Amino acid sequence: MSEYDYEELLKKAEGTFSKSDKREMRLKIPDPEVLYEGKTTIVRNFGDIIEVISRDSNQVTKFLTKEFGIGASISGKRLMINKKVTQDEVISKINKYIEIYVKCYECGSPDTEIKREGRVDLLICKACGSQNPIKLSRDIKTSEADMEEGKEYTVTVSEIGHSGEGKASYKGYTVIVPGGKKGETVRVLIKKMRRGVAIAEVLKK
């Protein structure tokens, strides 16, 4: 397989997301503004992020507490996490939240709501009408780091992007798989990552 310019691919991927992926566009999630006070991480604009995903801030905070394995609390628009985490980690956890609680599992639309029926929370999609029980976090979560540059993962290409590149979803990350075909499960090496988008190289099919 020929050499790809990963930086170029990443830029292109970001471009296509912001321009023509309507579903992503409808969720214009602001970049978390992360700052530190001692060992505490503060996400200054957490309230703005919550507003975009339109979920209960306490529920999101509870999710993040579990994910980071440490206390988190809200004060006004701010989220405080009781340890140092990077902006990338915050983005990855928020993306994961969206994968589980916001994006329709069937059509990908973020135009959804959660409704409790009996003992089950359903994710109801206003775009396609589908109703699915909320995925259990443990089905998605493992104890390993979610995704890192230079490491290998197995992903399944779920769609083809505008420039013919394969796209896969992995724990909240969008993985660009050059040469990947829809429905194909491949072992990949992550070459570059930025803001929840990872560029992968296929190792073997």
Applying CB under 5 A, does 90 fall inside the site for Zn ion? no
Report 92-151 residues binding Zn ion (CB under 5 A): 104, 106-107, 109, 125, 127-128, 130
Q: Which is nearer to Zn ion, 23 or 194 (CB)?
A: 23
Q: Return the residue matching tokens 């206003």.
A: 126
CA nearest 41: which of 86, 77, 5?
Answer: 86
Q: Which amino acid does the sequence have at 47?
A: G
Q: How far is the CB of 108 from Zn ion (least distance, A)?
A: 7
Q: How far is the CB of 193 from Zn ion (least distance, A)?
A: 28
* E strand segments, the chain: 34-37, 40-43, 72-75, 78-81, 112-117, 120-125, 131-133, 152-160, 166-170, 173-177, 185-194, 197-204
Q: Which is nearer to Zn ion, 10 or 100 (CB)?
A: 100
Burial class (CB in 10 A: 0-12, 13-18, 19+), 186: buried
Report the SS3 class of residue 46: helix
Q: How far is the CB of 111 from Zn ion (least distance, A)?
A: 8
Here's the x/- map for Zn ion, 156-195, by CB under 5 A: it reads as: ----------------------------------------
CA nearest 155: which of 187, 125, 118?
Answer: 187
Q: How far is the CB of 102 from Zn ion (least distance, A)?
A: 11
Q: How far is the CB of 58 from Zn ion (least distance, A)?
A: 25
Rounded to whole angstroms, how far apart are CA atoms 163 and 48? 32
Q: Which is nearer to Zn ion, 82 or 130 (CB)?
A: 130
Q: Which is nearer to Zn ion, 53 or 104 (CB)?
A: 104
Residues that bind Zn ion (CB under 5 A): 104, 106-107, 109, 125, 127-128, 130
